[in-house]
């Protein structure tokens, strides 16, 4: 059995086994490099590229139509005017006290049927020419004469008048507030509004506050 194995091995050694292997190796070494071929093909393709014209893709640039622009401008203007009108309407009570804006609000209320807020600028009302004197000997009644004036250009409600008496040290001795219903008499009785650029002379009667009251003043109540 052993010789048989040796004979078989010997027969195998005489077969030309290495020649086909050598030929296969030669073919692999000498064959073309597929990666290099592909790289050369890509390089050639890049060299052949040309820049694209944007106009060929999206077309030539065109300016927006003037009509469309005017539509946007007009819409923006209308929105702005609407916002200003809403704000002006919301603040009408305050803005109507402005002498420059009040005429516009007056026209608006005549058109819209709204009620114009009462004009109230007490700094435009003055009390002048104040005179206080006794009604007569033995009388405890004092007569008060005063001139009140509306120097503004709009009607105002008649104000409350505050008459004060002080002593020699300027300390308050007595004070009296007169409502319009108390000091308006005769043709003025029942009036509510003080006409613009108008003067009204008033005559009042009060109880004498005593000998300590040597100073007096009459002012417009700003809160009235």
Domain edges within the chain: 68-112, 122-220
Plot region of 138 (φ>0 → left; ψ -120 to 50 → alpha; else → beta): left
Q: How far is CA 142 from CA 41, 136, 139, in A?
A: 123, 9, 8
Angle ∠(29,31,37) on CA atoms, nearest 5 = 120
Torsion of Cα atoms, 128 then 129 then 130 then 132, to 10°: -170
Domain 122-220 has CATH 2.70.50.60: yes
Both tokens of residue 103? 């005429």
Torsion of Cα atoms, 18 then 23 then 26 then 31, to 10°: -150
Share of the chain above pLDDT 70, in %: 70
Give the DSSP letter of residue 62: -
* Whole-number average pLDDT of the chain: 79
pLDDT digits (tens, 9 = 90+) for 41-59: 555 545 455 566 666 665 5
Report the candidate in 127, 136, 134, 98 with the shortest Cα–Cα distance to residue 194: 127
More confident residue, 36 or 119: 119
For the segment 7-14, the average pLDDT, to the nearest whole number, is 44
pLDDT at 71: 80
Q: Strand pairing partners for 35?
A: none
For the segment 6-12, the average pLDDT, to the nearest whole number, is 43
Find tokens 């250009």 and name the residue.
Answer: 153
pLDDT at 153 over 60: yes
> Lowest mean pLDDT: which of 24-33, 145-154, 182-191?
24-33
Q: Name the pLDDT band for 79 (thresholds 50, 70, 90).
A: confident
pLDDT at 137: 78
pLDDT at 191: 92
Overall pTM surpassing 0.75 (yes/no): no
pLDDT at 119: 93
- Give the span between the Cα atoms of 188 and 184, in whole angstroms: 5
Report the candidate in 76, 108, 73 with the shortest Cα–Cα distance to residue 89: 108
The answer to whether 167 and 213 are in contact (CB under 8 A) is: yes
For the segment 128-143, the average pLDDT, to the nearest whole number, is 90
pLDDT at 77: 84
Plot region of 186 (φ>0 → left; ψ -120 to 50 → alpha; else → beta): left
């Amino acid at each position: 059995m052993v010789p048989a194995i040796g004979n078989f091995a010997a027969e195998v050694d005489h077969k030309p086994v290495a020649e086909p292997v050598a030929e296969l190796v030669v073919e692999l070494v000498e064959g073309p490099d597929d990666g290099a071929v592909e790289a050369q093909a890509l390089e050639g393709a890049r060299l052949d590229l040309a820049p694209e014209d944007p106009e060929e893709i999206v077309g030539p640039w065109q300016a927006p139509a003037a009509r469309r622009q005017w539509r946007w401008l007009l819409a923006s203007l209308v929105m702005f005017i609407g916002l200003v009108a809403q704000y002006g309407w919301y603040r009408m009570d305050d803005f109507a006290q402005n002498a420059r804006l009040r005429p516009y609000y007056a026209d608006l209320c005549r058109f819209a049927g709204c009620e114009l807020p009462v004009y109230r600028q007490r700094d435009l009302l003055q009390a002048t020419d104040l005179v206080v004197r006794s009604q007569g000997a033995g009388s405890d009644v004092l007569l008060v004469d005063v001139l009140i004036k509306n120097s503004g250009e709009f009607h105002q409600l008649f104000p409350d008048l505050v008459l004060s008496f002080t002593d020699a040290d300027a300390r308050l001795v007595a004070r009296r507030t007169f409502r319009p219903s108390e000091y308006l008499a005769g043709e003025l009785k029942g009036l509510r509004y003080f006409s613009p650029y108008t003067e009204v002379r008033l005559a009042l009667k009060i109880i004498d506050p005593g000998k300590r009251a040597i100073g007096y003043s009459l002012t417009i109540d700003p809160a009235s």
